[in-house]
């Protein structure tokens, strides 16, 4: 089984009738994802891409049994749309939107406390269970079903890593983009927990970068829970100039403990195998697998 999603996941799409919503919903339907509803306030009662549209998430959930949502909502209203989905108790929420005000994410995080919802993103490419379910905007031609779980802070690097894994004959159970924003939903530690508990996942790749504390928290999780499956980690940003924001709002290397070297050391000390370069992640995982078999 994949984690969080599978072929039975019933997806609704908030903001489906807009340009991005239409384009990506169409791609997800073509991939085989069960898209059961769209939500656009004021457009309830219509049908779009063959899918019924509702005014609210609660109505859509009740009418269609949707158990996941993806947001194609602009930054100004994305926070409110997320809280609507949390209040409707949708189990899974995936947010692609970039540049959401940070205090809106603080409000969302408060709404998540004690809720039934897991949040992926924002500023995420989404979640993919190859050949079963795509909730997101990622490239899929090289993704294959298989034993590796991937959790990443970067969309294009995820595509790259997936391509390398498939190249060495290792398919993927699930790929999760935790997103590039400083305040976000699920993190590396929770992804590790999900992958360790998933019988189909046999190895894990973490794709990290400078800034924030995700990698340190993953290292702490590994120290406290043990290395139950091989973990390969890539941390990029060793050559980044200090204190410069590099595209991802979360990737600000401002304190000694959140530079690439400290993160690499923390993960290495916790038992992860460090991929020496971004083009060698597939090879590193392949080797970790061979050693495990020996």
Partner 1 sequence: MQLHEFQAKDLLRRYQIDTPPGQIALTPDEAAAAARQIGSDSLFVKAQILAGDRAAAGGVRAVRSPSGARAAAAELLGRKLATSQTGPGGYAVKRVLIEAGVDAAQAFYVALRVDPASGSITVLAGSHRPDMEQHLAAGAPGFETLALSIAGEHHPGELVELGRRLGLAEEAASRFGAVIGRLHRAFIEIDASLIEINPLILTTGGGLVAVDAKITIDDNAAFRHPETAELRSDEEIDQIQLQAQRHQINYVQMDGNIGIVVNGAGLGLATLDMVRAAGGAPANFMDIRTTAKSLDIAHGVGMILDNPRAKVLLVNVYGGGMQACDTVVDGLAIAFRRSGRVMPMVLRITGNNEGFAKTRLANFNLPKTEYADMGQAAARAVAIAQGRA
Would you name the residues annotated as active-site residues? Answer: 248
126-129 and 133-136: which strand pairing? antiparallel
> Residue 7 or 23: which CB sits closer to partner 1?
23
> 68 and 11 in contact (C-beta within 8 Å)?
yes
Question: SS3 for 253?
Answer: coil
126-129 and 172-177: which strand pairing? antiparallel
Identify the DSSP state of 257: G
Shortest distance (Å) from residue 210 CB to partner 1: 7
- Burial zone of 59 (CB within 10 Å; 0-12 exposed, 13-18 middle, 19+ buried): middle
> Residue 200 or 213: which CB sits closer to partner 1?
213
> Residue 24 or 61: which CB sits closer to partner 1?
24
Q: How many CB atoms lie within 10 A of CB 182?
A: 16
**CA 146 distance to own-chain centroid:** 18
Structure tokens at 267: 């993960």
Shortest distance (Å) from residue 69 CB to partner 1: 18
> Residue 101 or 169: which CB sits closer to partner 1?
101
Distance in angstroms (rounded) separating the CA atoms of residues 20 and 15:
8
Sign for the CA dihedral angle at 73, 74, 75, 76 comes to negative
Q: For 69, how many CA atoms within 13 A lie in the half-sphere containing its CB? A: 34
Question: SS3 for 42?
Answer: coil
> Residue 149 or 180: which CB sits closer to partner 1?
180
Question: SS3 for 53?
Answer: strand
Residues at the site binding partner 1, with contacts judged by CB under 8 A: 20, 24, 27, 75-76, 98-107, 109-110, 125, 136-141, 152-157, 159-160, 163, 180, 182-183, 207, 209-210, 212-213, 217, 234, 236-241, 244-251, 255-257, 277-280
> Residue 60 or 133: which CB sits closer to partner 1?
133
Identify the DSSP state of 268: H
């Amino acid at each position: 089984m994949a984690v969080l999603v599978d072929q039975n996941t019933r997806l609704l799409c908030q903001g489906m009738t807009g340009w991005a919503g239409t384009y990506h919903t169409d791609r997800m339907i073509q991939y085989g994802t069960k898209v059961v509803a769209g939500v656009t306030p004021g457009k309830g009662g219509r049908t779009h891409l063959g899918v019924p549209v509702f005014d609210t998430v609660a109505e859509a959930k009740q009418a269609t049994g949707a158990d996941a949502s993806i947001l194609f909502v602009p930054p100004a209203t994305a926070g409110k749309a997320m809280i609507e989905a949390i209040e409707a108790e949708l189990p899974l929420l995936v947010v692609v939107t970039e540049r959401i005000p940070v205090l809106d994410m603080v409000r969302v995080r408060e709404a998540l406390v004690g809720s039934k919802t897991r949040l992926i993103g924002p500023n995420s490419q989404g979640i993919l269970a190859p050949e079963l379910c795509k909730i997101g905007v990622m490239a899929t031609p090289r993704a294959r079903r298989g034993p590796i779980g991937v959790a990443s802070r970067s969309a294009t690097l995820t595509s790259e890593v997936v391509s390398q894994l498939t190249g060495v004959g290792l398919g993927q159970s699930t790929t999760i983009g935790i997103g590039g924003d400083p305040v976000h939903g699920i993190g590396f530690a929770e992804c590790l927990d999900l992958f360790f508990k998933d019988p189909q996942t046999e190895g894990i790749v973490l794709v990290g970068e400078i800034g924030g504390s995700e990698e340190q928290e993953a290292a702490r999780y590994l120290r406290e829970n043990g290395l139950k499956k091989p973990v390969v980690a890539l941390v990029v940003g060793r050559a980044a100039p200090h204190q410069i924001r590099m595209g991802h709002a979360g990737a600000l290397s401002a304190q000694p403990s959140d530079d690439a070297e400290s993160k690499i050391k923390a993960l290495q000390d916790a038992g992860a195998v460090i991929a020496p370069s971004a083009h060698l992640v597939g090879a590193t995982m392949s080797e970790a697998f061979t050693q495990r078999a020996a």
